[in-house]
Structure 1
Amino acid sequence: MPVPIICLDEHVRHFAERFRKLFSKPQYQYLVIVLLGLMLCEGRRTLSGLLCQIADRPSLAGLSRFLSEAPWEAATVVTLWLRHFREMMQPKVAAELQRQRQEQPKRRGRPKQPVVTGYLIGDDSTIEKRKGKKMEGLGRHHSTTQDKRVPGHSLVESLYVLLGQRCPLAPQLYRQQAVCKAEGVPFASKIDLMETVIRTFEPVAGTVTHILLDTWYSAKRLWRAARERGFLITSGLKSNRWLRVEDPSAPQGWRWQRLSDYTAQLSASDYIQLKWPKGDDDVYVHVVTTRVRKLYSCQVVIVRLSLDAPVSQARYWASSDLEASPQMLLAHIAARWDIEVLFADGKEELGLDQYQLMSATALVRFWTLAMLAYVFLEEERHRLQEQWQRHVTIGEARRQIQRRHRRHVLDWLHGQFQSGVEPDALYELLSA
C-alpha cells in the first residue's frame, strides 16, 4: 500500500531534516520520496518503483529531473553525513580510550598508549547493464561473480568502520579511457580515485586509521599516500609479486624471490594455526617481515586453509603494521569483508544496481542517495542493537522501518475514518 507522506516515520523525518538546507523545498520533497521509496520498495528500485511507494506522488518526469538536472551537489550531501558521523563517534572514541586507560594493569614504566583503530576500506563493484547501451559511463568490466567481462558500470566505493559502526564515503564512477574519450571527460584510473580518497579522508580525532585494499589496489602510490598521511595500510598481494629473502650466497646478502616460490619451500613447521576472526575455522598462517618489490618494508602474511591443499590456493597480504601479531594481522585482513557486505546489502536491500538512468550525473546521484539511505539504516541498526541487545542486520533494520510505516498508515486511516472521511476519497488517494 502506498504511504502518505504525512505518515513518515519520525526517525526518517529527523534524519532527512539534517540535509534540508542543501535542497530547495521541491528538491527536499524528492529527497524524502527517494529515501522512503528505497526503504519500502520490495520490487525493482527503478524511479517508477520508488514512486509507487508514495501516495499522492509527483510525476516521474519531475523525479527524473531531480536526479539529472536539479541544481544540488551530491558531494555536499556526502560531506554532511561524514561530518555528522565524526561528531557522533567522537565521544564514543573518547569513552573507549578512557576505558582502555582504566583497564591497564598498574606496573612500573610508561603505560601503554590506548589505541582506537578506524578502518578505511576501498574496493569496486561491477554493476551489469546488459540493455543499457545508451547509458553514459558504460564500459566492459570484470565481474567476479561471472568471472568474465560484462557491460555495465564500475562503482568505486570506500567504507569507514569505527567501533563497529560503518559509514560509506562518496560513491564514484570509474570510466575506462576509451569511454572518457568518447564522452569528453578527463580520465581517472581506479588507483587515481582511491589515492584521492586516501589523501582527502578526514578521520575521527584521536584514532589510528588503517587502509584496507584488495590485490587490485596494491600499488606503491597508495602505500605512499597512506604513509604520508600517517595511516597504516594492508593490501592483498598476487602470488607473482617478489619479496626480499635473506641469502648469504648472494653478493648483497639477499635476493628477490617470487612469492609463490617462497611459499612452496615452506614446511609445515613454518606455519602457526589460528582461528579466523568472526568464525570457528582454523587457518594456517606464516608471517615474515621483509620488503616487497615496488612497495615498502612490511609484514607479508600467507594464509592457507589446509596444509594439504595446493600451494596455489594460498592467499597473500602485505601490511605496514610492523608491530602487529599474526592474530592482529588476521583481524586487519578479515575487517576488509565489511565492504563486501556493503555492496551486497546495497544491492539486495536498497537496489543499488537497479537504476535505469541515462546520464552519469543521475546515476552517481542515485548511488549517493542509496548510500544516504544506508547511512540511515546503519544508524537505525545500531539503535536497534542497543534496544534488543543482539546483533541486527541492515535488512532487519529496513524491515523494522517498513513495519513502523505500516502501523503509521493504519493509525492514520483509523483517524480518517473517525473524522468522517469517506472510503472512496481514501481509495482515490491510495490507488492513484
Structure 2
Amino acid sequence: MSHTSNLPHQDPIRHYLKKQRYNLYLTKPAFEHLVHFIDGATQKGFSGTLTDVHTLSCERRHRTTWSHFLTRGVWDEQWMQHHLSQRSLRKIQKHAQRTGLPIYVILDDSVCEKTKPSSQAVSAIQPADFHFSHGKGGPVWGHQVVVLLLWCGDRCLPFAFQRYDKDGVSKIALTCELLELLPAFEHPAYLLMDSWYTSVKIVDCAPTKGLQVIGGLETHRVLFPLGVRTPAPTFAGYIRKADTRLVTVGHASYRVYRYEGALHGMANAVALLAWPEEMFGKHQALRCTLCTDASLQDEEILERYANRWAIETFFQQMKGKYAWDRYRVRSVRAIERFWTLVFLTYFYCAETGSGDESLGLQRIRSRREHRLVDWIYRQFQQAVPLKQVKEQLNIA
C-alpha cells in the first residue's frame, strides 16, 4: 500500500493550488484543508456541512479539525479573497482583449437564509438579521451578501463580496467600497445593477473606474423635461404611442420612449421608459432604465441591461451546487471563511471547464470517479488488505 495518505483523485486540486502558490502562503495542514474542502464541495450530495466535507473528501483527520480551521485556524482569508479578485480580473480582461467584447461589472446582493433562533437559544448564529429577499418578496432571517461579478462573453467570475451589516455602513457606502477595489478600466466596461442600487453616489463613483452605468430606475424618479421638474409616472402619462419605438429584446417586444437630459442628482443621462407592447400606457407595467452612455441605441441599452441576469444565475449555482447558503457555522469569521472557500471552489470548477463552471464541475466529478476506481483496482492488484483500503477511504 502507498505510504502517503493522499488519494490520487485529489492530485489535480493540489496541482491547481500549487500552481497559484497557495502552498507558499499556507501551512501544510491548512493547504490540505483547502484540498479536502474543494474535493468535498464538488461532489454530489454536498449540503454545506463540515461533516459532509470531512466524509465526502475521505478526510482522515478528526472532524473537529474543520471547526478549528474555520474559527481559529491560522490563515489569511483576506489574502485569499484579494488573490481571487486579481485572478478574476486578469482572466476577464484577457478574454475581453482577445474577443473585443465589453466587460460587465454586475452588482447585486443575495440573502443566505437561516432559521430564526428562539429567544432562549444559547449560541445563535452571528450576526443574522432580517433582510429583504427579492426571491421571496419580503424580509427573511439570515445574512445578506453584496457581490460584484465580472462577465464578458462566455466568461463569468466573481470579483469580490462583502457581508452587509445593518449596524455598519450603509449598503450604498459598502458598494462604493467594493467598486474602489476595481482598477480604472481602459477597455469598454459597464456597471449593471437593479433599481435598488442606482443611486447618485454609485453613479458618481462609476466613472472614476472607467465604467458607464446601465441600471434599473425607480419609476418615481424625477425627470426634468424642458427644465420642468416632473416625476416619471406623471411624465409617462403624457407619452403617446406615436412617441415611442417598438424595441425587441430576446423574445419580448417593448414600447420605448427615450428621455435624454437631467435627472434628480444627475446633470445628463438617458432614461428609457418602457412598457410591454401589449400593456402600453399602464402605470403598473412601466419600467425605467438608466444609461450614462448616450451613444448607445435603445436596443443596445436594453440588451446590455439584460446581461444583469448573469448574477442571478450565479447565485442559483452557488446555492444549488455549492451550498453557499447552507453553512452551519456560527461565528462571523467562520461564515466569511466558508464563503471564501466556496468562491475558491467555484473558481476551480470554472477554470477546469475553460470558463464554463458547469462543464468544469462535470469533468471534476467524472475524473474523481475514474481515478478512485483505478486506485482501488491497483490496491487489490498489489494485494493490499481490504481493511487498509477502507482506512484510506475513511470507511468505518
Tell me the TM-score normalized by structure 2: 0.90
Aligned to 1:400: 363
Matched, 1:230 2:215: no
> Are the aligned partners of 2:36 and 2:59 in contact in 1 as well (CA < 8 Å)?
no
* Amino acid corresponding to residue 210 of structure 1 in structure 2: Y
Aligned to 1:188: 169
| Aligned-partner Cα distance in 1 for 2:331–2:83 | 24
1:249-328 to 2 correspondence within 5 Å?
254-276=227-249, 279-308=250-279, 310-328=282-300
* Amino acid corresponding to residue 277 of structure 2 in structure 1: S
> Are the aligned partners of 2:318 and 2:324 in contact in 1 as well (CA < 8 Å)?
yes
Seen in structure 2, the aligned counterparts of structure 1 residues 382 and 301 have a Cα distance that, compared at 3 Å, is farther
- Return the match for 1:219 from 199, 203, 215: 199
Structure 1 unaligned runs (5+)?
98-115, 178-186, 247-253, 384-391
> Are the aligned partners of 1:226 and 1:232 in contact in 2 as well (CA < 8 Å)?
yes
The alpha carbon displacement at 1:131 in A equals 4.3
1:22-421 to 2 correspondence within 5 Å?
22-97=25-100, 116-131=101-116, 134-177=124-167, 187-202=168-183, 206-246=186-226, 254-276=227-249, 279-308=250-279, 310-382=282-354, 394-421=357-384
The alpha carbon displacement at 1:379 in A equals 1.9
* Amino acid corresponding to residue 35 of structure 2 in structure 1: V
The alpha carbon displacement at 1:220 in A equals 0.9
Tell me the TM-score normalized by structure 1: 0.83
| Aligned-partner Cα distance in 2 for 1:91–1:236 | 29
Secondary structure class of the residue paired with 1:157: strand
| Aligned-partner Cα distance in 1 for 2:222–2:90 | 43
Seen in structure 2, the aligned counterparts of structure 1 residues 227 and 296 have a Cα distance that, compared at 3 Å, is farther
The alpha carbon displacement at 1:331 in A equals 2.3
The alpha carbon displacement at 1:89 in A equals 4.6
Name the % identity.
22
| Aligned-partner Cα distance in 2 for 1:22–1:141 | 36
| Aligned-partner Cα distance in 2 for 1:297–1:5 | 61
> Are the aligned partners of 1:140 and 1:152 in contact in 2 as well (CA < 8 Å)?
yes
CA displacement 1:309-329 (0-9 Å, x = unmatched): 633122211111111111210
> Are the aligned partners of 2:106 and 2:149 in contact in 1 as well (CA < 8 Å)?
yes
The alpha carbon displacement at 1:124 in A equals 0.7
The alpha carbon displacement at 1:353 in A equals 0.4
Aligned residues between the structures: 383
The alpha carbon displacement at 1:162 in A equals 2.5
| Aligned-partner Cα distance in 2 for 1:395–1:43 | 16
The alpha carbon displacement at 1:141 in A equals 0.7
| Aligned-partner Cα distance in 1 for 2:181–2:387 | 56
The alpha carbon displacement at 1:26 in A equals 0.7
| Aligned-partner Cα distance in 2 for 1:87–1:221 | 27
Secondary structure class of the residue paired with 1:63: helix
Structure 2 unaligned runs (5+)?
none
RMSD, aligned α-carbons: 2.1
Secondary structure class of the residue paired with 1:188: coil
Aligned to 2:17: 16
